[in-house]
Amino acid sequence: MISNLLYTAIEATVKAGVEILTVYDTDFQVEVKSDESPLTQADKKANTIINSYLLPTQIPVISEENDMISFETRKTWDTCWIVDPLDGTKEFVKRNGEFTVNIALVKDGKPLLGVIYVPVSQTLYFSNNEDAKAYKLELTDHAISKEVANQATELSAKLQNSVTRVVGSRSHMNEETSSFIESLKKEGKETDIVAAGSSLKFCLVAEGKADVYPRFAPTMEWDTAAGQSICEAAGFNVNIKNTNEPLRYNKENLLNPHFIVS
């Protein structure tokens, strides 16, 4: 049996995913936000759905699509939800299916649980960090029940293959990432690139389809909190590149430093 908070987050991600697909199948319009990132009606609708599930928990919510709350207020929170209602809007616009819904619960800056839903494939990833367990489940018709943990496959860190599979962004591969891959080759490691969009990159590592995910480009806390929760529960590290310390959440600046999942 899973906790009520985890099940609430699972319900919210799946219902938001269903709402996203109602827009995905239409000739939707794309707005451009002040940071030049795309925004669609799907982002907004998914955010409304998620808020309807999370706000009744009386735990504050940090969402990419909510009004930003000042750090003066946020620093008084020991626990909060961190939400990306549609992670990978660029992939959504390209209609390649590689977009997700991300919800995490963090306490004192550390993930307690995480949920990632992939609407197009109806694939659900979730974790409970207190039990150090992460799961994957293929849904049918976006249907879930409280028995979700009994139906899911547990994920765990696997031994590396002879080839080091490096997961890279579908939209953000840069020179620093290329240099990281070259450094692996200089260590005598054979490498293979696994391309993916959105928080699917975390999921590929957690389920053993990739070995390392270097992220040397800007991300926000809502891009990573759920993925970090799932990877850590599966036995992986999500550490800051320069300090080797885990990513932290509800910081004054919600921008993440560069990090490596391994």
At 84 the pLDDT is 98
At 187 the pLDDT is 87
Confidence bin at 173 (pLDDT 50/70/90): low
Which residues, other chains included, contact 227 with Cβ-Cβ below 8 Å and sequence gap of 6+? 102, 114, 116, 199, 201, 202, 203, 206, 238, 261
What pLDDT digit, counting tens, does each position of 19-45 carry? 999 999 899 988 888 887 888 899 999
Its pTM surpasses 0.75: yes
Mean pLDDT of 67-94: 95
149 with 28, same domain: the answer is: yes
Spatial separation of the C-alpha atoms in residues 148 and 151, rounded to whole Å: 5
Task: Please check the confidence at residue 171 and state whether its pLDDT lies above 60.
Answer: no
Mean pLDDT of 83-91: 94
What pLDDT digit, counting tens, does each position of 148-166 carry? 878 999 998 876 678 999 9
**CA angle (75, 51, 219) in 5-degree steps:** 55
174 with 257, same domain: the answer is: yes
At 188 the pLDDT is 84
Domain that holds residue 224: 163-261
28 with 60, same domain: the answer is: yes
Question: Please, is 159 exposed, middle or buried when counting C-beta atoms within 10 Å of its C-beta (0-12, 13-18, 19+)?
Answer: exposed
Task: Please check the confidence at residue 231 and state whether its pLDDT lies above 80.
Answer: yes
CATH number at residue 93: 3.30.540.10
- What's the total number of domains in the chain? 2
Give the 3-state secondary structure of residue 54: helix
Give the 3-state secondary structure of residue 6: helix
Task: Please check the confidence at residue 60 and state whether its pLDDT lies above 60.
Answer: yes
Residues in the chain: 262
Q: Which residue has the tokens 């992220």?
A: 215
Beta carbons of 64 and 220 less than 8 angstroms apart: yes
